Every structure is written in structure tokens, then in C-alpha cells.
Amino acid sequence: MDLHELTALEQGTLVATGEATPAELVEHYAARADGVGAFVTRTTEQAVAEAAALGPRPDDAGPLWGVPTAIKDLNATRGVRSTFGSAAFADFVPDVDDEVTLRLRAAGMPSLGKTNTPEFGSPCYTEPDVAPPAVTPWDTSRTAGGSSGGAAAAVAAALAPVAQGSDGGGSIRIPASCCGLVGLKPTRGRISGAPMYGDPVGLATAGPLARTVRDAAALLDVLAGRAVGDPFWAPAPDAPFLSATEREPGRLRVARFAEPIITRAEVDPECLKAWDDASALLASLGHEVEDVPVPLPPDAVPTFETCWAVLTAQSVVNLPDRSVLRPLTRWLTERGEAVSGPEFGLAIGAMRRYAAQALAALAPYDVVLTPTLAQPPVPVGALRDDEDPAADFEAQKRFTPWTSAWNVTGMPAISLPLHVTPEGLPVGVMLAARPAEEALLLSLAAQIETAAPWPLLPPSVAGSPR
């Protein structure tokens, strides 16, 4: 078995036992060709240098020490080009690392490069002007999703063992479903947004993309924790999140619904089958599964869109030349700039109230089950409409009618790759838990993975030559 076929934790064990070195892992991955649009910038020389500089494995090293990773191109990396998915920043090189980058480095995880993302992370597809489209290795004519499409493509194509993404409306879970991965959006405040704190609404957070639940939990342990100055934070867990995958979750009460939330959308039968099969699996594992009404009202949708548009406008507020921006970005920016300061404040308040109502409605349940997406991965370009950005935006909503709900509530949510269509396309199923209950969510996810294991690599990658 080649190194890239091992899980991230298995690779960490090789490093811990001296059977492989961090430099050998970096060099192995650096030799693999990117045929899925995973990277905007590869940093092979820097990764080799970082691996060599690690020295002997410390006694207190975590299980991923020495395992390479990759950093999303929305994250600031000192001395490394960070385009934010935009031609407007094609040559931008930050002079600081953000907190996510610092934590990966402190954990002894060399970065193989910056992963592909759409402009400012806004669309749910990854087709920027600064890199080729990110595609799923299950079918390279189809999207890897977004906005963490490059990170998901990298992990699914075994170009990195595990990778960090970020999620403001589904941007970890969407590509996880498209690429057959585990994708976890942590609870609000679990991972620091320092030093920029660019999201005053509280929708976005970093999180892990991985092939297994245990790998995702291990990377969450690396990323989690407050930084001095954070405006809000989740309570520290009693034990590492990885340990949660080693214990049974107990008998849980599961709420489920499949009615789309943010728009009327036709749901592909394969996505409904994945959700229904997951319901039956949970019941067979002893959990109580109950149908519930949609916990967010339609009125929440325009409020979310107001906040989303303002966040996009923030990204370009000091940009002197907007002509290079994508049509969708310009359209969202115009919408955002039309919102007054008081209107934005009122929208944030309304979002908080909608979140509180949903949390109260779901409080009796341990987890909530929905499909992740309304369709399997669609062809590249199928959602994008440069001639009509409003139609583009509506197509994205129909593709992702559930994911943003848990950004509004701040609940942790995970997409699990529980289904493959007859055409060989991956389909995810999503579970969400009460705020700050990632440990319970990971425990349940690990139980599901044991009961119904999924392919760790797509057929095009499994057993592929080095």
C-alpha cells in the first residue's frame, strides 16, 4: 500500500514509530500530480524545509505531528501568495499568518500549498479566475463543490492526507458531499478567527476535511481553541475530540426532515435515498428517529441573504479596481452596499432571533438528520451563470437548501459519505448537534462509520501508482 492510501492518523503512527519521516511524506505528496484543480499555489520547497526543521518528535506531539496538510487560499499565510480566489489579489503576499495557519504549524504539520477556492469563498462551486476548476476525483467533469473545493479535491484525490476548510454557508460540507469525504463545520467559536475577525455575523468557521471520522477529529483537535482577543468562544472540551470517536454515543433522539429550507428545490431521489437509508441505519443502531417540521421559517432567508451580501461587500471595500471581479461578486457587492448600517444591525439581530427559535425547537433532540445536498455533484459550470448572477445565486440555493441553516444557529454539523449513486457519484448525509456538542456528533459519526464503512478513496485513486 502506498503512503497516500493510508489515513492521516496511520501516517502519523509511521512517523511516531520512525518508519517514515515528515520529509518523506512531504516528498511523496509533492510528487503526485494535481489533476483535480486542488491547488492554487504549491509550496513544496517550503514544506520540505518545514519538515526538516521539525527535528526529533517531541514527547508531547499530537497524533498528526509530521503529517502534511494544506491551507485554504482564504487563509493568510505569511510570505506565501494568498489570492482569496480572486484575480484582484492574484499577486498578494500576506506579511502575517492567521491563527489557523499558526496552529497547523505548531502541530508540526507542513503545508503542501494553498488550496483552491472561489472568489472570496462566496459560491458553492470552485471555478475561480486564478486557477482551474476544482473537480471531484469521482468524475472529473463534475464540481468538487465550494468554497473549500480545492481542499476537498486534494484530500479525495490523495494529494494531501487531511486539509482545513472553512464554512460560512456549507463550504466544508458541500465539497465533502461532492468528493466523498467527512466534512465537519464546528460550533460557533470553536476555532479562532484571529487576527482579522472578518465575519461580524458569526456564520463562518474553519474546520476539517478528511477521509475518516477519526482523521477529522484529530484535525479538529489541532485547530480548536480560543486565542487571546477572540470576541466569543466555545467551552473547551473535557477530553480530546479524537477520544470521542472511541466511545459509544448512547441511545440518541434523532430529529429528521428533508424539506428544503432556504428555497423550493427538487431533491434528487438518490439524495433522499441516502437520507432515508441513514435514518434506517440510525434506527438499527438503537436510536430513536422522529420526523420534525423545518425549524427555520422562510422569513429567515432574506435576512441571511442580506448578511451574506454585506459580508461580500466587506471583502472588496478598499479595492480600487473592481473591474476584475467576477459578475457574481459584483452583484452581491452591490446588494451589500445598498444595505445601511442600521439595516445591517437589524439583520444581525433578526438572525440571532431566528437562531434562538430554531435552537429551542430542536432542543429536545440530540442530533438532526437531513440530506447534505439536493443533488449529487453537478457538471462544472452547471450552477455558474456570469450573464445572470441572480440566476447563479438561485441555482446555488437549490443545490444547497439545508447547509446554511446550521451556520445561522451556530450548531456543529458533519457530512458523512454514506451513499454512492448507480453512476458512481458520492452523496453525503448531514448530522447536526446542539452547540458545543462536537464530541457527541463525532461519537455518533464514528459509530455510523463502523456500521456502514465507506470507500476511503474514489476508484480512480485507490491503488493508483505513486
What are 61-86's pLDDT values in tens digits? Answer: 999 999 999 999 999 999 999 999 99
Q: What is the pLDDT of residue 196?
A: 94
Per annotation, catalytic residue among 147, 148, 177, 279? 147
Q: How far apart are CA 10 and CA 23, in angstroms?
A: 16
Q: What is the model's pLDDT at position 464? A: 43
Is residue 143 within 8 Å of 107, Cβ to Cβ?
Answer: no
Give me the chain's average pLDDT, please. Answer: 97
3-state class (DSSP) for residue 391 = helix
The answer to whether residue 43 scores a pLDDT higher than 50 is yes
Residue 273 clears pLDDT 80, i.e. is over it: yes
Q: How many domains does the chain have?
A: 1
- Examine residue 359 and state whether it is found in any structural domain, yes or no: yes
Residue 150 in contact with residue 144, Cβ under 8 Å? yes
* Residue 125 in domain: yes
Asked if the structure places residue 12 within a domain, the reply is: yes
Indicate if 72 belongs to the active site.
Answer: yes
Hey, which bits of 149-302 come out as E strands?
163-167, 182-185, 205-210, 253-256, 288-291
pLDDT confidence tier of residue 466, bands split at 50, 70 and 90: very low
Grid cell in block for residue 228: 487571546
CATH of the domain at 366: 3.90.1300.10
Which whole number is the average pLDDT over 18-46? 98
- Indicate if the pLDDT at residue 463 is higher than 90: no
Give dist(CA 436, CA 335) in Å, integer: 33
Q: What angle do CA 70, 72, 77 make, to 5 degrees?
A: 85
pLDDT higher than 50, residue 39: yes
| Cell numbers placing 272 | 433522499
Residue with cell 447536526: 432
The 10s digit of each residue's pLDDT in 334-349 is 999 999 999 999 999 9
Q: CA nearest 152: which of 115, 124, 202, 186?
A: 115
Catalytic residue selected from 72, 114, 185, 397: 72
Quick one: pLDDT at residue 400?
A: 98
Q: Is 415 exposed, middle or buried (0-12, 13-18, 19+ CB in 10 A)?
A: buried
- Residue 462 within any structural domain of the chain: no
Cα 103 from Cα 221, distance rounded (Å): 10
What domain range includes position 405? 3-451
Mean pLDDT computed over 23-27 = 98
Confidence of residue 382 (pLDDT cuts 50, 70, 90): very high
Q: Is residue 456 part of a domain?
A: no
Give the Cβ contact number of residue 322 at 10 Å.
12
pLDDT, average across residues 374-390: 98
CB of 175 within 8 A of CB of 149? yes
Residue 457 lies in a domain: no
DSSP codes, 120-178: GG-SSS---SSSPPPB-TT-TTBB--SSSHHHHHHHHTTSSSSEEEEESSSTTHHHHHH
Q: Which of 111, 171, 192, 315 is catalytic?
A: 171
Do the beta carbons of residue 178 and residue 204 sit within 8 Å? no
The candidate with the shortest Cα–Cα distance to 407, out of 375, 430, 385, is 430
CA distances from 56 to 18, 20, 34, 44 (A): 10, 12, 31, 21
Beta carbons within 8 Å of 152's beta carbon, 6+ residues apart: 134, 136, 144, 145, 163, 165, 175, 176, 178, 179, 181, 183, 209
Tell me the pLDDT tens digit for each residue of 231-271.
989 999 999 999 999 999 999 999 999 999 999 999 999 99
